[in-house]
Structure 1
Amino acid sequence: MTPSTRSDASGTRPSADADPQADGVTGLSPGIGEAARHRRADALDGWLGRLLPLPPGVALIAVGGLGRRQCAPYGDLDLVLLHAGVPGMDELAPRLWYPIWDAGLRLDHSVRTVAEALSVAQDDVKVALGLLDARYVAGDRALAESLSHTATDHWRRTALRQLPALREITTVRWQAHGELAFLLEGDVKEAAGGLRDVGILRAIATAGITDALRPAVRAAHLRLLDVRDALHRQVGRRVDRLVAQERDGVAGLLGLDGGDTLLRRVAGDARTVSHALDDAWRAADRLRSGRGRRGADGRPLRRPVARDVVEQDGELVLARTAIGARPDPSISLRVAAAAATTGLPIARATCEWLAAYCPPLPAPWPPAARAALITLLGAGPGLVAAWETCDRYGLVDGWLPEWTRIRSLPQHNPVHRFTLDRHLVQTAFEASRHTRDVDRPDLLLLGGLLHDIGKGLPGAGPDAHEPADHSTAGVPLAEAVATRIGLPDAEVTLIGRLVRLHLLLPDVATRRDLTDPVTIAGVAERVGDTTTLDLLHALVRADAAATGPAAWSGWKGRLIAELVGRVRTALDTGELPAPPAPDPALVAGPLPAVHLGEDRVSVAAADRRGLLATVAGCLALHRLEVISADAATVDGRALVECRVQPRYGLAPDPIALSADLRRAVSGDVSVNQRLRGRALAARGSGAAARVVWHRAAATDAVVLELRAADAAGLLYRVTCALDEAGALVRAARIATLGGDVVDTFYLVGGWPADAERARLAAAVLAAAG
Structure 2
Amino acid sequence: MTSTDTRVEAEDSGPSGYAAARLRLLQEEARSGPPRRTALAELTDDWLTGLFTAGSQGLRGVSLVAVGGYGRGELSPRSDLDLLLLHDGSDSGAVAALADRLWYPVWDLGLDLDHSVRTPAEARRTAAEDLKVQLGLLDARHIAGDLGLTAGLRTAVLADWRNQAPKRLPELQELCAERAERQGELQYLLEPDLKEARGGLRDAVALRAVAASWLADAPREGLADARRRLLDVRDALHLATGRATDRLALQEQDQVAAGLGLLDADTLLRQVYEAARVVSYASDVTWREVGRVLRSRAVRPRLRAMLGGGKPVAERSPLAEGVVEQDGEVVLARAARPERDPVLPLRAAAAAAQADLPLSLHAVRRMAAAARPLPTPWPAEAREQLVTLLGSGRPTVEVWEALEAEGLITRLLPDWERVRCRPQRNAVHIWTVDRHLIETAVRASELTRRVGRPDLLLVAALLHDIGKGWPGDHSVAGEIIARDVATRIGFDRADVAVLATLVRHHLLLVDTATRRDLEDPATVRSVAEAVGSQGTLELLHALTEADALATGPAAWSSWRGSLVADLVKRVAAVLSGDASEEPEPAAPTAEMERLAIEAFRTGGPVLALRAQTEPVTTDSDTESASDTDPEDPEPLGVELLIAVPDQPGVLPSVAGVLAMHRLTVRTAELRALDLPDGVEGSVLLLNWRVAAEYGSLPQAARLRADLVRALDGSLDIAARLAERDAAYPRRRGVVAPPARVTVAPAASRLATVIEVRAHDAPGLLHRIGRALEEARVRVRSMHVSTLGANAVDAFYVTGPKGEPLPGEEAASVARTLEEALRS
Q: CA deviation at 1:104?
A: 2.4
Q: CA deviation at 1:339?
A: 1.2
- Name the residue aligned to 1:513: 517
Is 2:352 aligned against 1:339? yes
Is 2:26 aligned against 1:29? yes
Query: What CA deviation, in whole Å up to 9, does each residue of 1:267-298 have, x standing for no partner?
Result: 01101101111111111111222278788786
- Name the residue aligned to 2:667: none
TM-score of the pair, normalised by structure 2: 0.65
Match of 1:501 among 505, 518, 534: 505
Match of 2:62 among 53, 58, 61: 58
Alignment of 1:230-241 (within 5 A): 230-241=236-247
Match of 1:565 among 545, 554, 569: 569
Query: 5+ residue gaps in structure 1?
Result: 1-17, 460-468, 575-769
Counterpart Cα distance in 2 of 1:145 and 1:232:
33
Contact 1:27 1:39 in 2 (8 A): no
Match of 2:204 among 195, 198, 202: 198
Counterpart Cα distance in 1 of 2:22 and 2:248:
28
Q: Which amino acid aligns with 1:483?
A: T
Contact 2:124 2:157 in 1 (8 A): yes
Helix, strand or coil: the match of 2:469? Answer: coil
- Name the residue aligned to 1:623: none
Q: Is the alpha carbon distance of 1:336 and 1:526 closer, same or farther for their aligned partners in structure 2, counting shifts above 3 Å?
A: same
Helix, strand or coil: the match of 2:92? Answer: coil
Match of 1:306 among 320, 329, 333: 320
Alignment of 1:581-592 (within 5 A): none
Counterpart Cα distance in 1 of 2:20 and 2:568:
72
Query: What CA deviation, in whole Å up to 9, does each residue of 1:106-130 have, x standing for no partner?
Result: 1111111111111111111111111
Alignment of 1:331-410 (within 5 A): 331-410=344-423
- Name the residue aligned to 1:319: 333
Query: What CA deviation, in whole Å up to 9, does each residue of 1:439-484 have, x standing for no partner?
Result: 100000000000011113112xxxxxxxxx2111110100100000
Is 2:60 aligned against 1:47? no
Counterpart Cα distance in 2 of 1:297 and 1:202:
31
Counterpart Cα distance in 2 of 1:213 and 1:207:
15
Q: Is the alpha carbon distance of 1:511 and 1:118 closer, same or farther for their aligned partners in structure 2, counting shifts above 3 Å?
A: same
TM-score of the pair, normalised by structure 1: 0.69
Q: Give the number of the structure with larger relative contact order, counting CA–CA contacts within 8 Å between residues 6 or more apart.
A: 2
Q: CA deviation at 1:299?
A: 4.3
- Name the residue aligned to 2:191: 185
- Name the residue aligned to 1:87: 92
Counterpart Cα distance in 2 of 1:314 and 1:573:
52
- Name the residue aligned to 1:77: 81
Alignment of 1:671-690 (within 5 A): none
Helix, strand or coil: the match of 1:245? Answer: helix
Match of 2:535 among 527, 531, 535: 531
Helix, strand or coil: the match of 2:84? Answer: strand
Q: CA deviation at 1:76?
A: 0.5
Helix, strand or coil: the match of 2:388? Answer: helix
Q: CA deviation at 1:32?
A: 2.1
Deviates more, 1:504-513 or 1:240-249: 240-249
Helix, strand or coil: the match of 2:470? Answer: coil
Q: Which amino acid aligns with 1:309?
A: V
Is 2:241 aligned against 1:227? no
Counterpart Cα distance in 2 of 1:52 and 1:165:
36
Counterpart Cα distance in 2 of 1:227 and 1:188:
8
Counterpart Cα distance in 2 of 1:300 and 1:432:
33
Is 2:449 aligned against 1:427? no
Counterpart Cα distance in 1 of 2:219 and 2:535:
50
Q: Which amino acid aligns with 2:565?
A: A
Counterpart Cα distance in 2 of 1:434 and 1:20:
67
Q: Is the alpha carbon distance of 1:29 and 1:311 closer, same or farther for their aligned partners in structure 2, counting shifts above 3 Å?
A: same
Helix, strand or coil: the match of 1:402? Answer: helix
Contact 1:351 1:393 in 2 (8 A): yes
Is 2:258 aligned against 1:252? yes
Q: Is the alpha carbon distance of 1:549 and 1:19 closer, same or farther for their aligned partners in structure 2, counting shifts above 3 Å?
A: farther
- Name the residue aligned to 2:794: none
Q: Is the alpha carbon distance of 1:323 and 1:477 closer, same or farther for their aligned partners in structure 2, counting shifts above 3 Å?
A: same
Contact 2:86 2:120 in 1 (8 A): yes
Helix, strand or coil: the match of 2:26? Answer: coil
The percentage of aligned residue pairs carrying the same residue is 52
Counterpart Cα distance in 2 of 1:404 and 1:563:
35
Q: CA deviation at 1:171?
A: 2.0
Counterpart Cα distance in 2 of 1:422 and 1:447:
15
Alignment of 1:662-673 (within 5 A): none
Alignment of 1:167-178 (within 5 A): 167-178=173-184
Q: Which amino acid aligns with 2:103?
A: W
Query: 5+ residue gaps in structure 2?
Result: 1-14, 579-823
Q: Is the alpha carbon distance of 1:166 and 1:338 closer, same or farther for their aligned partners in structure 2, counting shifts above 3 Å?
A: same
Q: CA deviation at 1:242?
A: 1.2
Query: What CA deviation, in whole Å up to 9, does each residue of 1:502-526 have, x standing for no partner?
Result: 1011001100111222222221222
Contact 2:200 2:230 in 1 (8 A): yes
Counterpart Cα distance in 1 of 2:417 and 2:573:
42
Q: CA deviation at 1:405?
A: 1.1
Contact 2:219 2:285 in 1 (8 A): no
- Name the residue aligned to 1:682: none
Tell me the number of residue pairs that the alignment of Structure 1 and Structure 2 aligns.
Answer: 548
Q: CA deviation at 1:23?
A: 6.9
CA-atom RMSD in angstroms: 1.9
Contact 2:18 2:47 in 1 (8 A): no
Alignment of 1:532-611 (within 5 A): 532-572=536-576
Is 2:212 aligned against 1:210? no
- Name the residue aligned to 1:104: 110
Q: CA deviation at 1:96?
A: 1.4
Q: Is the alpha carbon distance of 1:69 and 1:521 closer, same or farther for their aligned partners in structure 2, counting shifts above 3 Å?
A: same
- Name the residue aligned to 1:602: none
Deviates more, 1:24-33 or 1:314-323: 24-33
- Name the residue aligned to 2:490: 486
- Name the residue aligned to 2:649: none
Helix, strand or coil: the match of 1:380? Answer: coil
Counterpart Cα distance in 1 of 2:311 and 2:118:
53
Contact 1:27 1:43 in 2 (8 A): no
Contact 1:26 1:43 in 2 (8 A): no
Contact 1:333 1:372 in 2 (8 A): yes
Deviates more, 1:477-486 or 1:28-37: 28-37
Helix, strand or coil: the match of 1:127? Answer: helix
Q: Which amino acid aligns with 1:59?
A: S
